[in-house]
């Protein structure tokens, strides 16, 4: 658990910035980051050595929150 905290905690500000850019709403962005981190914690045992940031990125792109935003944006164009 300590290893995970040391690797993930420094990435949180960048994750929040990325989520705000994707969601265009601070509250939704925070929800997305929380969802991403919850999924990362539950799957930490599956992680292989390497770049933690790149390991976290699929959690953003496969999040149900992102899917709903993408559908709304596609419908509005």
Residue 69 C-alpha from the chain's centroid:
14
Q: What share of the chain is helix, strand, coil (3-state, %, to 5)?
A: 85, 0, 15
Rounded to two decimals, the pTM is: 0.76
Rounded CA gap, 1 and 61, in Å? 25
End-to-end CA distance of the chain: 44
Mean pLDDT of 43-54: 89
pLDDT in tens, 12-29: 999 999 999 988 889 989
């Amino acid at each position: 658990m300590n290893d995970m905290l040391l690797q993930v905690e420094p990435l949180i500000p960048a994750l929040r910035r990325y989520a705000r850019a994707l969601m265009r709403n601070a509250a939704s962005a925070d929800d997305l980051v929380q969802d991403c981190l919850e999924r990362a914690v539950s799957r930490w045992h599956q992680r292989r050595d390497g770049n933690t940031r790149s390991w976290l990125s699929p959690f953003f792109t496969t999040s149900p929150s992102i899917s709903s935003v993408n559908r709304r944006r596609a419908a509005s164009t």
